[in-house]
Chains A and B, each alone.
Chain A
Amino acid sequence: MKNLLTTEDLGRETLERLLDLSDEFVEVLDREIPKVPPLRGLTVATLFFEPSTRTRISFERAAKALSADVMSFSPGTSSLKKGESLKDTALTLRAMGADIMVVRHRAVGAPWRVAEWVDVPVVNGGDGAHQHPTQALLDALTIRRHFGKLDGLEIGIVGDIRHSRVARSDVYAFSTLGAKVTLIAPRTLLPRDLDGWPCTATGDLDDVIERLDVIYLLRVQTERGGATAFPSWPEYVSRFGLSRERFARLADGAVVMHPGPMNRGVEIAPEVADSDRALVLDQVRLGVAARMAVLFTLATGRGLTREVTA
């Protein structure tokens, strides 16, 4: 694996190897001193052109737990405001010694372009509404650690699928690992063309809720125009919100997931968010391990690691 840009082309074997490695790093993070040395001397640069806190911190935590140094670039304090191009920013960070780059950008494809311009591994930290592969990895990790597998599970992804890079990444990762994925949203929040997608879609949450093992909720992305897709928030909540009543209809053992940030009272009722069947904080915790697995794998793939002691 040269870069990690998308889950679309990840085979089952690659995904499982990353998940196995993530499991080992979970164990590392549970140690008294949660740190291992394989990326010592390497520098991981996070280039976040879009405001983000949790993903950037998660990557930086992962890099530090592997003993890498971290360089952090974000638009608020950067030369972007002075008109620097994406290419010049990437080349500048590379010249300062970045060995791995994590790129988040509001525009689709930005990490692909960076990967053309620099000679180091690039991780897609989220590009527009396109892909967010490490989120898919941590989601799959969370599900596998809870259920022991993804094979045969029914996973429903509910909400603003059209504008969601999480959904686009999860659909491929979950189905490659053997789960059956259903997208649940009004037609105005579904992609206009699902030709070739390894999933089905419905506009009726109540019709499918009882058979789901995992209900994965997404925020409506008002900043990408999601809020013009339905008449009002109360109407949206009544059709697609995971209320207490709907939560009660979930099958025994079914769990609730959300990539954050959550809008309590919209897609998820506060009591549901706080219930012990909501794995939201597990997702956050396991995200660090999953990102360690990705950084470690990319560094190893380019012969950058010092010693293999996961």
Chain B
Amino acid sequence: MTILIRGGHVMTPDGWEVLDVVVDGDVVAAVGQNLEAPQAEVVDAAGCWVGPGFVDLHVHLREPGHEWKEDIASGTAAAAAGGYTLVVAMPNTDPPIDSGHLARFVAERARLVGRCDVQPAGCITLGRAGEFLAHLDELWDAGVRIFTDDGDGVADAGLLRHAMEYLAERGGVVAQHPEDPGLARGGHMHEGSVSARLGMAGLPALAEELMVARDLALVRETGVRYHVQHVSTKGTVELVAQAKADGLAVTAEVTPHHLTFDHTRVETMDPDYKMYPPLRTAEDVAALREAVRDGTIDAIATDHAPHAAHEREVPFEEAPRGVIGLETAFAAALAALGADRDLLFQRMSVAPARISGADRHGRPVEPGGPANLVVVDPAARWTPQTFVSRAENSPWRGVELTGRAVATIQEGRLTHRDVVVG
């Protein structure tokens, strides 16, 4: 299939230029002015940004085991609709992805039914139970590069140290959902003035910071590549900044919702504001935005966490945690950070591709390069009411947004084409 992307602002190795892009097969065939491509599918990209497809380091596709919430087909379709060409699938499925054949199942299934590339993440501990190491070698051989017990932190420092020592030899990334179980016990929202008034048990900022501080001491000893998942507090930002200044191989991600909302949203009692880590204070939101700008935080990752509608028809405290984010991430990031296309593509594509080791993603657009591309319109206004995802637990449902993916191309395949524009 040939695709001609006409007249967009293209992210080339030499910076942004208004150019045409021709995609042929799985590569970019040509980049230049007034290109012709007979028979090509034409995408009008006037006013749009054309760059490497987005890469999400943190997505819950829910397959195997929780297909009523989402599956690999619906989750990757949502990813394509949001401009993503690669997602890293979290391993907290049922069964959890703790051995090679399970990781291969996810990858194979994605090749069969997926609308974007899927890199499975593997568990750090067997069954995510925090007692024994998962089958780290098998997982590595199946293509896993990011290891995490996401949903829970690895609380046992001795076990985590073993995982770090083992994976440091391989070059794998230990990604931590930092949450000290003792400090977080029973909590449903950020511990602060709002939780005190609502009478909800809180998740203190310290629950996150304490585990990150401990982990960084272990990273210092083991030399492993370490990635902090969904940073939510100013204190964590400071810890990561110090670790980077000290030369540790540390990276960090933040979600669009933590860049947007603060804990006062929970006053609505709406479970669409329930997530772990919880929404923090306005001061934390400001610190997170600044950390994305100055590079302390490397990547924006959605923590796309689909849940069925009926599972949310309960009180806040009883609702499952997490919200979807793939389809709204670009608009949310644009609103939080401004129309800085270099910054947005760095944090949503280049850096996360580097962290996941995916060399066919996150590269500037040039002839011969991989045809993993996104065309985004930074001025498109839209209001999400329904979603491509099977779930609709989004805090942006019904909220007017600016910016959306017009077209997504994965390995030369048009995986998303906006029905409104183009």
Contacts and interface: CB of A to CB of B under 8 A. Distances in A.
B217 interface: no
The residue in A8, A107, A196 that gathers the most chain B C-beta atoms within 10 A of its C-beta is: A107
Interface string A161-181: 001110010000000000000
B313 A168 contact: no
B193 A108 contact: no
Interface string A75-91: 00000000001111000
A69 to B, nearest CB: 27
Interface stretch (A186-194, A211-219, A268-276, A288-296): A186-194
B193 A109 contact: no
A193 B196 contact: yes
B269 A109 contact: yes
Contact of A128 (B192, B193, B200, B310): B200
Contacts of A88: 313
The residue in A163, A192, A196, A225 that gathers the most chain B C-beta atoms within 10 A of its C-beta is: A192
B193 A130 contact: no
The interface size bin for chain B is 20 to 34
A72 to B, nearest CB: 20
Contact of B200 (A86, A108, A113): A108
B317 interface: yes
Interface string B185-198: 01010011101111
A85 B317 contact: no
A197 B201 CA distance: 17
Contacts of A194: 196
Interface in B300-341: 310, 313-318
A113 B269 contact: yes
Contacts, number: 75
Contacts of A128: 199-200, 317
Contacts of A130: 198-200
A86 B315 contact: yes
A163 B199 contact: yes
Contact of B193 (A105, A112, A193): A193
B310 A112 contact: no
Given A195-B193, A196-B193, A225-B186, A109 B198 contact: yes
B185 to A, nearest CB: 8
Nearest to A164: B199
A15 B137 CA distance: 67
Nearest to B202: A192
Interface residues of A, number: 29
The residue in B193, B310, B315, B317 that gathers the most chain A C-beta atoms within 10 A of its C-beta is: B315
Contacts of B314: 85-87, 107, 113
Contact of A87 (B186, B191, B313, B316): B313
Contacts of A129: 199-200
Nearest to A109: B269
Contact of B269 (A112, A165, A168, A196): A112
A197 B317 contact: no
B197 A85 contact: no
The 10 closest A-B pairs by CB, nearest first: A129-B199, A109-B269, A107-B315, A191-B196, A87-B313, A130-B199, A107-B317, A110-B315, A193-B196, A193-B193
30 contacts: A86-B314, A88-B313, A105-B315, A107-B317, A107-B318, A108-B188, A108-B198, A108-B269, A108-B315, A108-B316, A109-B315, A109-B317, A113-B269, A113-B316, A127-B315, A128-B200, A129-B199, A130-B198, A130-B200, A163-B199, A165-B199, A168-B197, A191-B197, A191-B199, A192-B196, A193-B196, A195-B193, A195-B196, A197-B197, A225-B201
Interface of A: 8, 85-88, 105, 107-110, 112-113, 127-131, 163-165, 168, 191-197, 225
Given A86-B313, A110-B315, A164-B199, 12 more contacts: A86-B314, A107-B315, A109-B315, A109-B316, A113-B316, A127-B315, A129-B199, A130-B200, A191-B199, A192-B195, A195-B196, A196-B193
